[in-house]
Amino acid sequence: MKSEAQLRTSPVLRGSGLFDRVDYRLIETIEERDLIYLLRYRAYLHGGLISPSESQRVKDTYDDAPNVWIFGIFIDGELCGSFRLHVLTSEWRMSYTTELFGDILHPRLDRGEVFVDPARFVADPKKAQRFPELPYLAVRLGYLACDYFNADTGLSMVRTDHQAFYRRVFLSELIAEPRAFPGWHTKKVVLLASDFRNVRDKILARFPIMRSNAFERRMLFQRGGERYSSSPALSPYTRASMVPHHS
């Protein structure tokens, strides 16, 4: 008989078997971003979150913020999903989450807290059926970002019906009641927070898929030009006083 811990982690362990086939790519070119915007449109339309549009793209002003990282998740070379995150500091506050929940977040940013703010996780509707582990593979990027940027808190602005997943994986707690999200006519969002400094090791013990090393984190979060510069990389245990600029 499997232990309770084994039962909790078995879906993630199945996901970890995909690692040799998974490629996380930082999306930096106009052409790559257009593929991501198209993927978002297909995913949101399939989920009933938006109405059909002529452009068949979903993008917003926060895609161009200086504190944004947009990733494509590829399996066997095919784009299967995308994940966007912002790093929020007292200097860098641009994100949809601070727009919708600024009354809660700005006072904490004023105190010098650092947040990792994941958003816009989407999966190709057909490939999501083939790879049910995609949500774990996607939110792993948020965990790694908290590690790399030495964040105090990992945020989750999510649909009300997706709360249970983030509570279970990241031990997140509700810090704001449901609010309307721009462009979504059928769903509201809530804000959850994971006290990363205190739950980091608990999450890692429960979900070994979150393991990484400094090299992987550096390759994910340093932008193209920064990887080849002589300036020292941000240490995962050193407070980021300023989010790196675009190259």
Q: Which domain holds residue 206?
A: 4-224
Rg (CA), the chain: 17
Q: How many helices (H) and strands (E) does the chain have?
A: 8, 7
Query: Has residue 175 been placed in a domain?
Result: yes
Query: Has residue 244 been placed in a domain?
Result: no
| pTM of the shown model | 0.83
Query: Has residue 235 been placed in a domain?
Result: no
Query: Has residue 232 been placed in a domain?
Result: no
Query: Has residue 240 been placed in a domain?
Result: no
Contact call for residues 68 and 84 (beta carbons, < 8 A): yes
How many domains is the chain partitioned into structurally?
Answer: 1
How confident is the model at residue 221, as a pLDDT?
96
Q: Looking at the DSSP assignment, which residues form a beta bridge with residue 195?
A: 153
Query: Has residue 245 been placed in a domain?
Result: no
How confident is the model at residue 17, as a pLDDT?
65
- Neighbour tally for 140: CB within 10 Å: 24
- Can you list the residues of the chain whose pLDDT is less than 70? 1-17, 185-186, 224-247
Query: Has residue 243 been placed in a domain?
Result: no
CATH number where 124 lies: 3.40.630.30
Strands 188-195 and 173-180: antiparallel
Query: Has residue 65 been placed in a domain?
Result: yes
Q: For residue 72, what are the CA distances in angstroms to 28, 47, 51, 148, 222? A: 10, 19, 24, 19, 15
How confident is the model at residue 144, as a pLDDT?
97
